[in-house]
Structure 1
């Protein structure tokens, strides 16, 4: 689940993947993605107890700017939850000829088997989000809403992040990330900041991630992901 208090963070991966997709008919705007990671990180915190993860999703994007999709991954929080299932939709585009871009939407994080043994151990939650980008820079804000009882920490939680990505050689991208997660007054001790830097090429990503939480070490992750037009 997504929670610094329960264990969560910034996604990256490990492995080689080979997929062949042949379709007699393509569906305009529909695509799929598959990824492998040495450690599923979300906002700097592991979601798999520092273990590997495999993930996949399906997305639909319309030329109007509307998009929707779903994404799943295995997780390990030391309880019944074995996988995460996300649903999201939003709208994005350009702000006239200003060079700025925007994206607004909603995402719901579900853990369908989290309460298999204990009916009170449900911690699904949602977020509304918005981002503004210009050239290689972007700033994003996520705000926690409609959480289950087991995810009270997510209610009104605010995550603000800034990212920059530069092409330093043909097909080679260098990216920087910093984010700050703040919770309401009942969870003040959980506030933290995470940092990351990564190199990506041909679907592979090599990343370093860290947080300012006590006893948290720098994490190195390797990932591979592909997109498939359907």
Structure 2
């Protein structure tokens, strides 16, 4: 998950140097047997390698960038570069997270970049999130938009092992534009994670991509 964030990121970098003790910069790297985005493979069911850098401030503000290989077939882009910024915090027993992410494909022949606003609310083991995709892509036959609703439940089991259940619903013109089907679909899955390792299964009700996806991955975080 560029132009919209330049002013914010510049201001953030100034604040970082003036109050470095209140900020944290981390990096991450990961590898997975598949890159699934809302239940749909972004690597033609092949392996993924990704990494990113994140900045966070004690006020709750955060910003970062993340990159991954992608494979949509043919002469389409070979990698994805995301920029994002947001604000997260807690209100009593509830947590919240609001922000914006820009999905870019710099080596694409035509512009297929898009942006997305999101907001999430969590309580204990349960999280609900709403995302709104905007920005029509080059060559689109309709003004593209998509609302994505998701619900995630995470439980700790067996010595700090996390078990997560997920269900999501994608709705809007973008669904028909991308997948050539109805303007909505559901994705769902379950994963188990411990010590950076993740094993999961995911599926959608799309006619064109309804196979059960099984994936394994490993991720690491570093302080900079």
Under a length normalisation based on structure 2, what TM-score does the superposition of the two structures give?
0.83
CA distance in 1, matches of 2:98, 2:118: 6
| Structure 2: 5+ residue stretches without partners | 2-20
Cross-structure match for 1:62:
57
Q: For structure 1, which segment, 138-147 or 152-161, has the greater mean C-alpha deviation from structure 2 after superposition?
A: 152-161
Superimposed CA distance per residue, residues 7-65 of structure 1 (whole angstroms, 9 cap, x where no aligned partner): xxxxxxxxxxxxxxxxxxx9941000000000000000000000001000000010000
Cross-structure match for 2:89:
93
Corresponding residue pairs, total: 199
Q: 1:93-172 maps to which residues of 2 (within 5 A)?
A: 93-95=89-91, 97=92, 99-115=93-109, 121-150=110-139, 155-172=144-161
| Distance of aligned partners of 1:38 and 1:154 in 2 relative to their CA distance in 1, 3 Å threshold | farther
| Structure 1: 5+ residue stretches without partners | 2-25, 116-120
Superimposed CA distance per residue, residues 130-188 of structure 1 (whole angstroms, 9 cap, x where no aligned partner): 00000010000110122332466783210000001100121211000000000139937
Q: Is it true that 1:211 corresponds to 2:204 in the alignment?
A: yes
Cα drift, residue 209 of structure 1: 0.2
Q: 1:178-189 maps to which residues of 2 (within 5 A)?
A: 178-184=167-173, 187=176, 189=182
CA contact (8 A) 1:160 1:179 kept: yes
CA contact (8 A) 1:126 1:147 kept: no
Is the helix fraction higher in 1 or 2?
2
Q: Which structure's relative contact order is higher, taking Cα pairs within 8 Å and 6+ residues apart? A: 1
Cross-structure match for 1:5:
none
Q: CA RMSD in A?
A: 2.1
Cross-structure match for 2:45:
50
CA contact (8 A) 1:48 1:75 kept: yes
